[in-house]
Amino acid sequence: MKPIIKETLSLPMGVVYKLKYPNIEVQQSLNQIFLSSYLGKQYSVANEQLHLYQYLLSNDYNNVEQLFHSLYASIPHQWYTNRSTSLLRR
């Protein structure tokens, strides 16, 4: 098995490790966990990935657009407005 430590940083508060993914399956699983956590329980990541794949294969761009629209619509409005406001203050 390959080592998963990519880089070691010695900082005043301690040692920090930057890790690599041991394999593609772990990388995909972590991405799915983060995406599920980010989108919330009402959003089925695996189901939406399957739909996106099917829509792209069938050149169904109307449903691709709707899928992305629903994804972005699920982002809380406050995240956008707080970020926009902070960018204007610079």
For residue 54, pLDDT beyond 80:
yes
Output 48 or 65, whichever has higher pLDDT.
65
Number of domains the chain is built from: 2
For 11, the domain range is 1-39
In this predicted structure, what is the pLDDT of residue 59? Answer: 95
**Are 46 and 87 within one domain?**
yes
CA neighbor of 2 nearest in space, from 21, 16, 30: 21
For residue 32, pLDDT beyond 70:
yes
Residue type, position 72, single letter: Y
**Are 25 and 58 within one domain?**
no
CA distance 32 to 55: 20
For range 27-42, the mean pLDDT: 74
Output 61 or 18, whichever has higher pLDDT.
61
